[in-house]
Amino acid sequence: MAAERISLVTGGTGAVGKAICQALARDGSDIAFTFHKQEARAHELAAEIESLGRRVFFAPVEARSGQAIEAFCTRVEEEFGRIDVLVNNLGIIQVMPFALLDEEDWDDIMQVNIKSMFLFSKAVLRGMVRRKQGVILNMGSIGGHRLLEVPVHYATAKAAVSGFTLSLAKELCRYGIRVNEICPGLIEGGIGSNVSPRQLEEYNAYCSMGRPGDPREVAEMVAFLASARATYINAQRMVIDGGL
């Protein structure tokens, strides 16, 4: 059965990335995904995607290397013929007080969390512009928009996602390409694993749902925004934080 879409998900082996790949596959998409070190998880995820009757392609990609990113995206287009959806999901966090941050710490967070978003988007856009259609979904965080106890360099990179999304959406709308941001709150199993019991208790106290989110709840929003059900949604920040 032919796929409705070809979707590329960066950082596919994390809790949220895995859920996104699964949700997109269930929604009729063939999947390409990147990973860094978790090769065993990558093979397990690929088997799950194939069990859903979907094709899959995956490879380790160094997020700091423009050359590696360009080569991976070219290979995906060779394998599948096109890329319809890009989910810029990969990211890292470093829990460090601002006073102890080194220049290298700052640069590393910016390279992985925001520069890679630029590099992957640039690599897939030629095909999208040529076909005059496509979807780019950028993973932000409420940590970049709320007064929360999060590392400064991480919050700065996540705040930058909003500016990147808005500007890119405006530039690409003439080609029929939609660009949106997904802005999760605290999510179980992902970066939320780094929070302390005190921080978790505080989040639950202020969250109207009284709990962290499940990766699948983020993934369902991604699948919706990637689909033809969301063709009139563009340049938006979709907040999934349980009502914080």
Task: Spot the catalytic one: 154, 175, 203, 206.
Answer: 154
Q: What is the dihedral angle through the alpha carbons of 126, 129, 134, 139, rounded to the nearest 10 degrees?
A: 60
Q: Which amino acid is at 84?
A: D
24-to-7, 121, 157 alpha-carbon distances in Å: 8, 19, 26
Ramachandran area for residue 162 (φ above 0: left; ψ -120 to 50: alpha; else beta) = alpha
Note if 206 is an active site residue. Answer: no
- In whole angstroms, what is the distance from residue 68 CA to residue 62 CA? 6
Contact call for residues 138 and 180 (beta carbons, < 8 A): yes
Instruction: Determine the 3-state secondary structure of 137 from DSSP.
Output: strand
First to last CA, the chain: 42
- In whole angstroms, what is the distance from residue 68 CA to residue 96 CA? 29
Other beta carbons within 10 Å of 106? 17
Catalytic residues: 154
